Amino acid sequence: MNNDVVTQEKRAVREQAQHPQSPATQRWVQPAVNIVETGEGYTLEAEMPGVSKDGLEVLLDGNELTIIGRKNPFTGQAHLVYRESNDYDFRRVFELDPVIDASRAVAKIENGLLRLELPKAERVKPRKIAVE
Amino acid sequence: MRLTRYQRPDLWSWSGFSRLTNLQDEINRLFEGSVTNGRGSDVFNSWAPTMDVYEDADNLIVRAEIPGMKKEDIEISFQGSVLTISGERRSEKRVEGAQPAREERFFGRFTRSVSLEKQVNSGAIKANYKDGVLTVTLPKAEEAKPRQIEVQS
C-alpha cells in the first residue's frame, strides 16, 4: 500500500503489523483504513463490518493507539451453505504522531465504519500571526 | 448453488476469462460515461463485498459485508433465480489541504450475484442493513420447503 508515505519522516501514524502484546491465542484481522491529515488533525476511517458500538474498543496508551472491533455473530437456526466472511475480530495498532492531542480524540462507528478524529494539539496547529 | 467468484479486493490478480462478465459490465459502464475515482478502470481496481449464504427451513439468507455504505446506495434485485446486490460506495468529500496518509479502502461501484437453487417467493424478499452488513432474507416458495408426510395406516 502506501508504505512510502508512511515511512516518510513527517508521516501520519505508523502502524505496527506485529504487535508484541497481541494475544497469541486469538486471531485477528486488520481492518482496512484510510488516514487523512489536515492542519487540524488526522481522520482515521477503519472498515469493521458487523461491529456495533458495543463491540468497539479504542485504546490510547501513551502514543500507541489500538482499535479493536468485535463482530456480532450471526445468530439463528440457519445453517451455513456458503461462506466468504470470517469470524475473526478486528485489531490494529498505530503509533501516534506526537502532535496529536489524544485527550480530544473522538470515535464513532456507523454502518460498520469507524471514524476516529485525532486533533492536533493547539500549539502545533498552523496559525496566522497578526501584523501590528 | 453457484456464486460469482469472489475477488479479494486486496489481492487482485488477472484470472483470464472468469471475469469476463465483469469486464463486459465494465466496458458498458465506460461507454455510459461514468468515471471512476481517478484510478482508471475498475477492471483493475474493482472491489466486491464478501457474501455468505445461510439456509433454514423457511428462508435462504444472504449476508454481505459492505461497511460504510448509505442505505440508499444499495440496490438489490432478484430475477429468475439470481439475486444481485450492487451499489456504489462513495468517498467523503476531501477537505481542502487534506493529505492522504493511508488509503486502503475501496470506493466505487460493486456487483455481486448469487444463483439460488431453491425456489423463492420473490414478492416477500426482505433486506436489512445494519453495522455495515446487508442481510437479505428470501422466503422459500411453498414447494421448496421441506415437508413431513404423514403415514396413513
Residue B3, chain A, CB below 8 Å: the answer is yes
Q: Do A50 and B61 count as a contact with CB atoms less than 8 A apart?
A: no
Does any domain span residue B128? yes
Q: Do B102 and A45 count as a contact with CB atoms less than 8 A apart?
A: no
The rounded mean pLDDT for chain B is 79
Q: Do A2 and B105 count as a contact with CB atoms less than 8 A apart?
A: no
Domain range for B113:
2-91+106-144
Whole-complex ipTM: 0.76
Q: Do B54 and A74 count as a contact with CB atoms less than 8 A apart?
A: yes
Of A95-109, B40-54, B94-108, B110-124, least confident by mean pLDDT is: B40-54
> What CATH number should be reported for the domain holding residue A108?
2.60.40.790
Name chain A contacts of B105, Cβ cutoff 8 Å: 32-34, 45, 47
Confidence of residue B121 (pLDDT cuts 50, 70, 90): very high
CA pair distance A107, A66, nearest whole angstrom:
12
Q: Among residues B109, B95, B97, B2, which one has the least CA distance to residue B53?
A: B2
In chain A, the number of structural domains is: 1
Does any domain span residue B101? no
Does any domain span residue A131? no
pLDDT of the residue at A16:
43
> What CATH number should be reported for the domain holding residue B52?
2.60.40.790
Confidence of residue B17 (pLDDT cuts 50, 70, 90): very low
Does any domain span residue B99? no
Domain range for A21:
3-124
Does any domain span residue A132? no
In chain B, the number of structural domains is: 1
CB-nearest partner of B50 from A38, A76, A85: A85
| A17: DSSP letter | S
Query: What is the tens place of the pLDDT at every residue in B73-87?
Result: 999 999 989 999 999
pLDDT of the residue at B55:
93
CB-nearest partner of B67 from A39, A48, A82: A48
CA pair distance B13, B19, nearest whole angstrom:
11
Per-residue pLDDT of chain A (132 residues; tens, 9 = 90+): 333 333 333 334 444 444 444 455 578 899 999 999 988 899 999 999 999 999 999 998 888 899 999 998 887 788 999 999 988 999 999 998 889 998 899 999 999 999 999 999 888 777 788 888
Of A50-59, A103-112, B45-54, B109-118, least confident by mean pLDDT is: B45-54
Query: What is the grid cell recorded at A75?
Result: 445468530
| B91: DSSP letter | P
CA pair distance A5, A15, nearest whole angstrom:
12
Q: Do B102 and A72 count as a contact with CB atoms less than 8 A apart?
A: no
Does any domain span residue A108? yes
Does any domain span residue B152? no
CA pair distance A81, A76, nearest whole angstrom:
14
CA A15 to chain centre: 10
pLDDT of the residue at A111:
96
- Residue A100, classed as helix, strand or coil, is strand
Does any domain span residue B69? yes
